[in-house]
Amino acid sequence: MPSATTRRRVKGRPRRWFEAVGLVLLLAAPFVLADAHDGLVGPKTRHYVADTLLGARWDAGAVDAEWTARPFWVEPVRGNGVRVAIIDTGIDATHPDLRGSVVGWRDFLEARPTPYDDDAHGTHVAGIIAARGHLQPDPFAHYFPFGATGVAPGVELLVAKAMDRDGNGDATTVAAAVRWALDPNGDGDPSDGAHVINLSIGIETPEGDGDDLPFGLPTVASRSASETKVLEDAIRTAYDMGAVVVVAAGNHDPDSAHDQVTFPGTMREVITVGALDGAGHVATFSNRGAPESGKPDLVAPGIILSTFPKTHDTVDGSQDGYLALGGTSMASPMVAGTVALMMEADPSLKGLSAEGGRGGHTERMRAVLQATAVPAGPSEAAGAGALRVDAAVATIDVGEGGLAWGRIMVALTLLVLVVVVSVRIFTARRDKRRRRTALRAAQARRAARSRYDPAPAPVWAVQEEVLVAGPGRAMMRVQARPVSDER
């Protein structure tokens, strides 16, 4: 028969296993949450995108970017399943880093059937969002992008050419391009439309329109309120249908007094982006918002190396297909690409509806981008602060898969902890009661052994009979009975 000590040890073993499981779940929970989105895509889908607090490395062989710092792993979201519309000067779809990314094209100027870019601005913007680069091993056995790697290389591009070879256009053409992006095949069903629309453009102002900067912001000529309203209506339609419109804040001459955010960046329905310089400060050319206007919404790197048509000579005369350019035109696609990553993380935020009522998509994205931004200066210049790609993607909720497992693990961990604590409390109280009962029993036994009873002893009478059975042998018989019992 096992001793009491043995029985307690055997009975306690399942409880200890249960507590051990709870401890393992508790210790594993932070790692599960950190890597929960790994379930969306396999581990080989890693790529470098910008950690925009410290900068981005956009490497093209021997060409150095003006914005350089450590890259950030975003694993494994790449913008897969998200369509981004670029309304600009076109795109060089034959560029090695952009080949295969264009799924829709419309030329609103010359109606050419195949993509082209006679200005290069659109190709540069497209690379910041969607360039796929070529991974080559470095001497230290790590992998860095050879070529330009965009923020969201898994997206599909819808490209509309609405600006000419000089970067000029008009508001009505841009408005038509926005409406096309929402329903490219024109069948009334927006299921093939763009989830994100990037507008690296601005309304022309009398001075300070950025033309004195290399590749300044493409200029939209709109001198009448009616033309402006056409574009306003198109953008509001996109907002209401659920598309997120990202707009450059605009560039200005640092010596000019005209430094206000340009239209359509002033609209409430868009996410307006200012630019950071190579030191991480708000660039001197980045337009400022009016007091209490809430614009720009945030700032992002604005001096970036990206794709460039090989048919165009770069400023140094080379034709290597890459060039570092500066402007809010470069900052806007950084945010547009980040929004695409967030949409892959939470697919519920990329649905378009012809009936409208989905402006909450933009508001949700704006709230997360601003909440995760890092302060970078006064709000009229930097908005909520500098973009953090990693923090924004990590913060957005996931509807299916990915972080859903993280939530399950957290819930399970909390449940196990509650049960463990409850069992601990119950067993502690039970053991206390048992110890109290055992103590009382021991005290009772000790008291019984030491008790003195002064009652009188019973009186006995003894009758003796002796019988002789023969020589040398005798037997005595004794019989006793109580005379009285006084107890």
Q: Residue 7 class from Cβ within 10 Å (0-12 exposed, 13-18 middle, 19+ buried)? A: exposed
The one-letter code for the residue type at 474 is: A
3 is catalytic: no
- Which residues touch 279 (CB under 8 Å, ≥6 apart)? none
Going by the DSSP 8-state scheme, the letter that residue 314 receives in this structure is -
* 135, 139, 152 from 145: Cα distances, Å: 5, 13, 14
- Which residues touch 395 (CB under 8 Å, ≥6 apart)? 368, 371, 372
329 is catalytic: yes
Please report where in the chains the tokens 């710092």 appear, as a residue. 69
Residues facing residue 301 across a β-bridge:
276
Q: Exactly one of 329, 332, 361, 390 is catalytic; which is it?
A: 329
Going by the DSSP 8-state scheme, the letter that residue 51 receives in this structure is B
Q: Is the dihedral of CA 100, 102, 104, 106 positive or negative?
A: negative
Find, among 44, 45, 156, 39, the residue nearest to 91 by Cα. Answer: 156
Q: What is the 3-state secondary structure (H, E, C) of 59-126?
A: CECCECCCCCCCEEEECCCCCCCCEEEEEECECCCCCCCCCCCEEEEEECCCCCCCCCECCCHHHHHH
Helix, strand, or coil here: 428?
helix
The one-letter code for the residue type at 386 is: A
Q: Exactly one of 88, 92, 209, 240 is catalytic; which is it?
A: 88
- Which residues touch 273 (CB under 8 Å, ≥6 apart)? 246, 247, 248, 249, 296, 297, 298, 299, 300, 328, 331, 332, 334, 335, 387
195 is catalytic: no
Task: Supply 238's token pair.
Answer: 């996109």
Q: Exactly one of 37, 121, 252, 361 is catalytic; which is it?
A: 121
Residues serving a catalytic function are: 88, 121, 329
